Structure 1
Amino acid sequence: MTAMSLGPAYSRLWTATALSNLGDGIRSAALPLLAASMSTDPVIVAGVAVAGQLPWLLLGLIAGALVDRFDQRRLVVLVDCGRTALLAALTVAVLTGSATVAWIYAIAFACGVGETLRDTATATLLPPLVNDADLERANGRLVNAEVAGNELIGPPVGGYLFGVAMVLPIAINGGTLALAAALIFSLPSVFAPAPTSESKGRIWSETMAGLRWLVRSRRMFTLSLLSGTFAFVDSMWFVVLVLFVQQILELPAAIYGLLVGIGAVGGLIGGFLAARIVRLLGPAPTLTTCLLAAAAGQLMLGLASEVVLAALGLAATSAAFGVWIVVARTQRQRSTPRDLLGRVTSASTTVVMTASPLGALVGGLIGREYGLRAAILLGVPALVIAACLAYAVLRERREPAP
């Protein structure tokens, strides 16, 4: 089935999401390459990625309050237009030879702020556009568009375009955002926030109201913690994968790239099948099964001595993660009050965005002290414990309103 089968409004949202994430993937490769053309210092080049990810840690919680208080459609359009203008300015700077590393850092950070707001707002755009029964299918296609653009297609395209001309990936990123803004602007005007008695003008108090709701909701709070655990464990093994391939499997770097590609394809398959699996098992059993499947995949990967078993483990873990993202997002959209969805989404995403770098740090330390296999295998019991918690809490059909 195609995006169009969910209606023309959803088709425009899907296309805008695909274009925006393709541009993000292109930019994620182009900006470090641009920095590398100005400096050979590894810290300076790596700092570009840090500048782009920092907004989630600094502004992730507040972003939800901003999304909940404004018309989300107009906010996304404003953000995409703002990022288009910034990239146009960087394009001119590159063409005139006036671009500096400081410029690149500023653009990476500003685009990261926009991405934080846009990703939060996009999660609130979907429910009014599709039937409730179609949410898993709609989310699955959106998640696949995000993964394909950000991880599978965007970065290699960005690297290739940079090799053709430094300015080309930056200009194309601006073009994809401009098209995405036009498509979002064409959506129906059904995203204005409902009037509430909440005091306006106090962003932090509104942010805390969303956090209080999340903490009091046993199912949603548990789901957020489990998502963070999944992301933490996933980063633990991924950060040592390149060394595992080279030192344990004794394979060339090209095989590492192939395995990463297999993992990305596994995630896409998971996103595609998520709706069917939920219809077959139900949401809570699906989430529990995802954690167990990921544990099995990591066990295969950690014990692998040949590339076939490693590839199967990567595909299983990545597919489970893809299904998890779709089902968790759908459950959050169904269970959260409309006027709090932005804040609950941003809080949950901030948990994941914080857990990922922490997991990478812990994985690196474990790999150094106890071996590369340990960094992969120690995640297995963590996922099994998480699966038990998911089964105990998420299978509850209803809970009192927080």
Structure 2
Amino acid sequence: MTGTTTTPRSTGSPLGRPFGSHLSAVGLANLADGVVQIGVPLLAVTLTRSPLLMGVLTAAVWLPWLVCGIPAGVLVDRWDRRRTMICSLLVRAALLGGVALLAWADLLTIGVLIVLALGYGVTEVFADLAAAAQVPALVGRDAGRLRRANSRLLAVQHFCNGFAGPPLAGILVALGAAWLVGTSALVAVAAVLALALGLRGRYAASRPEAESAGTRWAELTSGMRTLWAHPVLRPLALAAGLWNFASTAFSAVIILWMVGPESVGGLSPQLFSLVMVALPAGALLGSMVAGRLLRRWSEMSVLVVCWGLNGVLNLMPLLWPTAWGLAIFLLGVGPLGVVGNIVSGSIRPRMVQDHVLGRVGGASRVLVFGAMPLGALAGGQVAELFGIPVVLVGVASVMLLATLLVGATVPQSLVDAHELEPERAPVG
């Protein structure tokens, strides 16, 4: 945000009203995400049982990160980040409203759902990059404050995306496709109102004069060059990309494995939606204990242990494909995932200057999220050729490989050596 303040804040001080408004908007946006992420695949399995098409649908959600991540990061650094979030959410609401009309007219097809996933993904790229880049402007760069802010953001995200979203999706799927996407459109509008009315002022990063005079190509590549040259951020991004490749391969096939009379699990869409609540239940636990864990052990030790245990737990749906097995799996990976995300999410803002934070974030997510459509397509294709069990074993193996990579290349001493000096926190 332009116009930084001069009053320092202690690590334990309140995060402020502006952050509270930001948190509300993020929560509402994630409620819509939770409904769409669970509801659209459940709609899709009523239109197709093809693992390949389900893989394409999952890939469509994440493909925009691969294509748009870098230019979106540059634009987020140029534009007002609050306005970027508002415009992205408005476009998302319009897209969902249009698909709701098609569903109401009984014109919904798997092709329409794939287009919806692509468009939704584009809005997510801009909204998420702007939201992440805005956090240091709201709370400062102190490691403790950033961890507390990320803990609250992740807790709200998991509650809205996972606790409230899936059961609501199950109810709305039963009511009809138009209800599902139409309700999501209204929630996106509510997120816009939370930002427009609750968070005032400009949130654009100041750009050095030397950088302003640079070429467009230099701007586009600066984020990836900064990321690739960084001894901490590069291996973290590569390992996270490998992890997410496996994670979306899992997501592409798990509904076919668990839902429907033809599946191994035999769950109904409503029961599957209800069981998915176990994920945010575990995630909320993780957000509550993360601070204690990080006060006792180093960040990277906690991250490696969480990733390793998470990888092993991904075998559970294969070994115990029941509602109880799925619930226990989700309860386990929830806290492990959120603690790992708190660690990784608090590292980048401490390593990168504010005026390039958006583009470095975009470059990072090209690697981290850009691997996800590839994983979804690979998971769908492998399942089509060799069966879903092969995919589930491969997922756990790749996750453990990613854990070994980050454990071997990013010790805590390296993180500490490359941390920037903390900036003073804003008042508010």
Segment drifting more, 329-338 vs 199-208:
199-208
- Summarize the Cα distance change of 1:276–1:191 in structure 2 as closer, same or farther, 3 Å threshold: farther
- Which structure has more helix as a fraction of its residues? 1
Q: Percent identity among equivalent residues?
A: 26
SS of equivalent residue, structure 1 residue 65: helix
Contact persistence 1:219–1:394 (CA under 8 A): no
1:284 corresponds in structure 2 to 300
1:78 to 87, 91, 95: 87
2:199 corresponds in structure 1 to 187
Cα offset for 1:90? 4.0
1:334 corresponds in structure 2 to 350
How does the TM-score come out when normalised to structure 2? 0.75
1:385 corresponds in structure 2 to 404
Cα offset for 1:166? 3.8
Q: Where do residues 224-373 of structure 1 align in structure 2 (5 Å cutoff)?
A: 224-235=237-248, 252-254=265-267, 257=272, 261-295=277-311, 297=313, 301=316, 315-359=331-375, 361=378, 365=382, 368=387
Provide the C-alpha distance between the structure 2 equivalents of 1:109 and 1:371, rounded to a whole number of angstroms: 27
Cα offset for 1:165? 4.4
2:168 corresponds in structure 1 to 157
Q: Where do residues 66-215 of structure 1 align in structure 2 (5 Å cutoff)?
A: 66-95=75-104, 105-131=114-140, 132=142, 133-185=144-196, 186-196=198-208, 197-199=210-212, 203-215=216-228
Cα offset for 1:56? 1.8
Give the counterpart letter for 1:348 in structure 2.
S
Cα offset for 1:16? 0.8
Contact persistence 1:244–1:373 (CA under 8 A): no
- Summarize the Cα distance change of 1:305–1:51 in structure 2 as closer, same or farther, 3 Å threshold: closer
Provide the C-alpha distance between the structure 2 equivalents of 1:306 and 1:369, rounded to a whole number of angstroms: 12
2:17 to 8, 23, 26: 8
Provide the C-alpha distance between the structure 1 equivalents of 2:172 and 2:258, rounded to a whole number of angstroms: 29
Contact persistence 1:284–1:394 (CA under 8 A): no
Deviations 1:185-238 (A, max 9, x none): 232425112033324796543120111111111111122122223323445666
SS of equivalent residue, structure 1 residue 61: helix
Deviations 1:224-266 (A, max 9, x none): 12222332344566667679889xxx98434994875544433
Cα offset for 1:122? 0.7
Cα offset for 1:88? 3.5
The alignment status of 1:399 with 2:411, answered yes or no, reads no
Specify every segment of 5 or more residues in structure 2 that has no aligned partner in the other structure, as ranges: 1-12, 421-428
Segment drifting more, 181-190 vs 253-262:
253-262
Contact persistence 1:91–1:167 (CA under 8 A): yes
Provide the C-alpha distance between the structure 1 equivalents of 2:40 and 2:332, rounded to a whole number of angstroms: 32
Provide the C-alpha distance between the structure 2 equivalents of 1:49 and 1:130, rounded to a whole number of angstroms: 34
Deviations 1:287-329 (A, max 9, x none): 2332343355458x49967988986665444422221111111
Contact persistence 1:236–1:379 (CA under 8 A): no
Provide the C-alpha distance between the structure 2 equivalents of 1:69 and 1:310, rounded to a whole number of angstroms: 44
Cα offset for 1:6? 3.1
Cα offset for 1:182? 1.9
Contact persistence 1:68–1:339 (CA under 8 A): yes
Give the counterpart letter for 1:330 in structure 2.
S
Contact persistence 1:32–1:46 (CA under 8 A): no
RMSD: 4.1
How many residue pairs get aligned? The number is 393
Specify every segment of 5 or more residues in structure 1 that has no aligned partner in the other structure, as ranges: none
- Summarize the Cα distance change of 1:106–1:390 in structure 2 as closer, same or farther, 3 Å threshold: same
Provide the C-alpha distance between the structure 1 equivalents of 2:38 and 2:345, rounded to a whole number of angstroms: 27
Provide the C-alpha distance between the structure 2 equivalents of 1:5 and 1:394, rounded to a whole number of angstroms: 29
Contact persistence 2:66–2:367 (CA under 8 A): no
Provide the C-alpha distance between the structure 2 equivalents of 1:13 and 1:200, rounded to a whole number of angstroms: 32
2:5 corresponds in structure 1 to none
Provide the C-alpha distance between the structure 1 equivalents of 2:379 and 2:106, rounded to a whole number of angstroms: 41
Contact persistence 1:31–1:48 (CA under 8 A): no
Provide the C-alpha distance between the structure 1 equivalents of 2:54 and 2:319, rounded to a whole number of angstroms: 34
Give the counterpart letter for 2:192 in structure 1.
A
Contact persistence 2:54–2:252 (CA under 8 A): no
Contact persistence 2:30–2:157 (CA under 8 A): yes
- Summarize the Cα distance change of 1:119–1:36 in structure 2 as closer, same or farther, 3 Å threshold: same
SS of equivalent residue, structure 1 residue 194: coil
Contact persistence 2:249–2:391 (CA under 8 A): no
Contact persistence 1:237–1:375 (CA under 8 A): no
2:426 corresponds in structure 1 to none
Contact persistence 1:158–1:169 (CA under 8 A): yes
- Summarize the Cα distance change of 1:371–1:259 in structure 2 as closer, same or farther, 3 Å threshold: farther
SS of equivalent residue, structure 2 residue 211: coil
Deviations 1:80-125 (A, max 9, x none): 1222233334444555667777665544432221111101111011
Provide the C-alpha distance between the structure 2 equivalents of 1:312 and 1:159, rounded to a whole number of angstroms: 20
Cα offset for 1:353? 1.9
Cα offset for 1:384? 5.1
